Chains A and B, each alone.
Chain A
Amino acid sequence: DIQMTQSPSSLSASVGDRVTITCQASQDISNYLNWYQQKPGKAPKLLIYDASNLETGVPSRFSGSGSGTDFTFTISSLQPEDIATYYCQQYDNLMYTFGQGTKLEIK
């Protein structure tokens, strides 16, 4: 199975900061990588699909990049409502795997 290594596991940043989360796949997954946001007590929400495509309705401060094994998720200017846990997820050969998650807090 493909393993996803996401880092950091937690992150504290100030409003307005640029925030970056990385995800590394154990083998080449092309661009088959999605990013999700989950707020406490809520279901996850798709933000980025196919590594770099912004889901409809998602603010443009969110972005994703990468291909192959190394991927990056960025919030260009952190807002208070962005406090959540973020997950990467790969889909390859009919199987899906999530990263361990990054808990984002306001400093």
Chain B
Amino acid sequence: QVQLVQSGAEVKKPGSSVKVSCKASGGTFSSYTISWVRQAPGQGLEWMGRIIPILGIANYAQKFQGRVTITADKSTSTAYMELSSLRSEDTAVYYCVYGDHLGYWGQGTLVTVSS
């Protein structure tokens, strides 16, 4: 059973960056995709991008191109999502998700952007 444990809540200033981590256990980390999905308060789900750790190749939703970077460290089975140039609209819960079918979800990390 795959388990994903994400880093803790963050409070950031507008214009800064945030980096959220996601440590996987119980599965074959490198062979499957890790996606990042966010959910603003009271809103729906928004896919941001994904990485295939074994290839080290990431692709991103057009909306986030140039502002998000997804990486993975195979040695520690940890994925990272870094979002830059933060604005208030980026306040959301950020989830890492394992698998092509988004079958396993982390617990979520609340990122609050506020001056």
Specify which chain B residues have a CB less than 8 angstroms from the CB of A50 in the assembled complex.
Answer: 101
Q: Is there contact, CB below 8 Å, between B46 and A98?
A: yes
Total cross-chain contacts (CB, 8 A): 52
Interface size on A, residues (CB 8 A): 22
Q: Is the CB of A49 within 8 A of B101?
A: yes
Q: Mark B44-63, 1 if CB is under 8 A from A, else 0.
A: 11110010000000010110
Q: In whole angstroms, what is the CA distance A100 to B44 when docked? A: 6
Decide yes or no whether A55 CB sits under 8 A from chain B: yes
CB atoms of A96 and B47 under 8 A apart: yes
Of B46, B50, B61, B103, which is within 8 A of A46 by CB?
Answer: B103
Q: Mark B residues whose CB is within 8 Å of A.
A: 35, 37, 44-47, 50, 59, 61-62, 95, 100-103, 105-108
